[in-house]
Amino acid sequence: MAYKPQYGPGQTSVAENRRKQMNPDHKLAKLRDVSDKDLVLCMGHRAPGSAYPSCHPPLSEQQEPACPIRKLVTPTDGAKAGDRVRYIQFSDSMYNAPCQPYQRSYLEAYRFRGIDPGTLSGRQIVECRERDLEKYAKELVGTELFDAALTGIRGCTVHGHSLRLDENGMMFDMLQRAVLDKKSGVVKIVKDQVGVPLDSEVKIGKPMDAKWLKANTTMYHSVSGIGFRDDPEYVEYIQRIHSLRVKYGFMPKEA
Amino acid sequence: MTEATFPQCRIDSERFMNPETTERLLNQIISVPGVRRMVLNGPRLPATVPFGPAKGSANPHPMRKTIKVGDQEMELQVHVGTVLLELENCDVIPALRAAIEPVFKDFSFRIKEGRFMKTEPSLVDYCKYGPNADKDMIGLADPNSKSRPVIIQGTK
């Protein structure tokens, strides 16, 4: 019988959402249209429409050493062209954000190629070749992995993940990169990832409502959503991993 | 530094408060006689970007505004989420609760009784601020800060 990955334990909707997001066969629901130009503006690595700067000549123009691995692995478009390595970083609020740092790294590893994800407690960064990054970022921002109020594209000064929300439901941001337009209810990004004001604001769409967020979150939260202890299968799995890691620390010798 | 003899309480709101809400809340608090001192807590909102590639550039933020409390104007430096209070006595708390309840229409709040301000300087305070640090500020805010406490007149 062919191996079928399980992606993760758990019986709650949070666990199910985690599995769905990780499963590359599951097509992520598209919730908003973000143009290439808007994404480039938000990330702030190059001027929209400019050529991709490169850090080495295209692979077709340079001599490659004889290497069996290079023959096995097809380079990504960015690697082929010799693009620079650039990043996008997200902060996710604890209050039922649709994705969260560990989950992001898992799902990116399952879905994308040629990436280097970095996971921290309240933020997650993914680095890759620039044109690959723009392709991946479109999926990360345009689909159900993103919420305009509870997810932030933040290169620095990322604090906000574990803080209370603002009165209008936005996640705290010291640099206020995204602002909620009171009249239209649309969130506008007014600064790039690192806090440099944009020449033109980027409309990212309306925040999702509380019901959708609660149904689609991958974050356990006992007050605003589903508590971690309400999922005994997940608790058992984590306890097993914890126990095995502790035992491994003592280097047990098998008989 | 605060005196251990005075009771203290803390007001926590479910959400961070806008400057307008903060202004309403503080004006309601000062309308209750018996509040000696207040500290506004929350994440800082610096005037310039503190680090990263945009370091030093202006940081316009809609939550950093000048509010008027009593007859005093003060510039908010934090996004207020918690207010610490030092009271004359515990009897003030029910009146305080009644006064601030109308401010929180859209989200909830809690008043906790306890000890939230330092009453003794710690060794770390001594190491950080030295032997001549301002005793009135130590344990409440940074004694080295140039901004001074706001004194609201006419509450007694």
**pLDDT at B135 (0 to 100):** 80
Task: Enumerate the residues of chain B whose CB falls inside 8 A of the CB of residue A172.
Answer: 16, 43, 79
Q: What digits encode the pLDDT tens for the residues A39-66?
A: 999 999 999 999 999 999 999 998 888 9
Q: Which amino acid is at A74?
A: T
Q: Is the pLDDT of residue A191 over 70?
A: yes
H/E element holding A248? helix A232-249
Query: How far B87 CA lies from chain A's nearest CA (Å)?
Result: 26
Query: How far A115 CA lies from chain B's nearest CA (Å)?
Result: 23
Q: What digits encode the pLDDT tens for the residues B60-74?
A: 999 999 999 999 999
Among A95, A157, A188, A223, pick the best mutation site for testing chain B contact (most B Cβ within 10 A): A157
Q: Are B114 and B10 in contact (CB under 8 A)?
A: yes
Q: Is the pLDDT of residue A135 over 90?
A: yes
Q: pTM for the complete prediction?
A: 0.90
Which of B13, B18, B54 lies nearest to residue A195, judging by beta carbons? B54
Share of chain B above pLDDT 90, in %: 62
Q: What digits encode the pLDDT tens for the residues B101-147?
A: 999 999 999 999 999 988 888 899 889 988 888 888 887 888 888 88
Angle CA(A49)–CA(A54)–CA(A59) in degrees, nearest 5? 120
Query: How far A74 CA lies from chain B's nearest CA (Å)?
Result: 34
Q: Does A109 touch chain B (CB under 8 A)?
A: no
Q: What would you measure as the largest C-alpha separation in chain A, in angstroms?
A: 70
**Beta-carbon count within 10 A of A66 CB:** 6
Q: How many CB pairs under 8 A join A and B?
A: 62
Contacting A with CB below 8 Å, chain B residues are 13-18, 21, 43-46, 49-54, 57, 59-63, 79, 81, 106-107
Q: Which amino acid is at A116?
A: D
Share of chain A above pLDDT 70, in %: 99
Q: Are B67 and B76 in contact (CB under 8 A)?
A: yes
Query: How far A176 CA lies from chain B's nearest CA (Å)?
Result: 6
**pLDDT at B54 (0 to 100):** 86
Which of B52, B81, B106 lies nearest to residue A156, judging by beta carbons? B52
Query: How far B10 CA lies from chain A's nearest CA (Å)?
Result: 16
Taking alpha carbons only, the member of B119, B131, B108 closest to residue B37 is B119
Burial of A55 (0-12, 13-18, 19+ CB in 10 A): exposed
Q: What is the mean pLDDT of residues B7-25?
A: 95
Q: Is the pLDDT of residue B42 over 90?
A: yes
**pLDDT at B152 (0 to 100):** 87
Q: What is the mean pLDDT of residues B24-31?
A: 95
**pLDDT at B3 (0 to 100):** 65
Q: What is the mean pLDDT of residues A82-94?
A: 96
**pLDDT at A97 (0 to 100):** 96
Query: How far B61 CA lies from chain A's nearest CA (Å)?
Result: 6
- Are residues A167 and B16, on separate chains, in Cβ contact within 8 Å? yes
C-alpha Rg value of chain A to the nearest Å: 20
- Alpha carbon distance B92, B111 (integer Å): 12
Q: Does A159 touch chain B (CB under 8 A)?
A: yes
Q: Is the pLDDT of residue A143 over 80?
A: yes
Task: Enumerate the residues of chain B whose CB falls inside 8 A of the CB of residue A174.
Answer: 43-46, 59, 61
**pLDDT at B119 (0 to 100):** 80
Q: Are B113 and B102 in contact (CB under 8 A)?
A: no
Angle CA(A133)–CA(A135)–CA(A140) in degrees, nearest 5? 85
**pLDDT at A255 (0 to 100):** 59
Q: How far is CA B104 from the centre of its chain?
A: 17
- Are residues B52 and A194, on separate chains, in Cβ contact within 8 Å? yes
Which of A174, A179, A194 lies nearest to residue B43, judging by beta carbons? A174
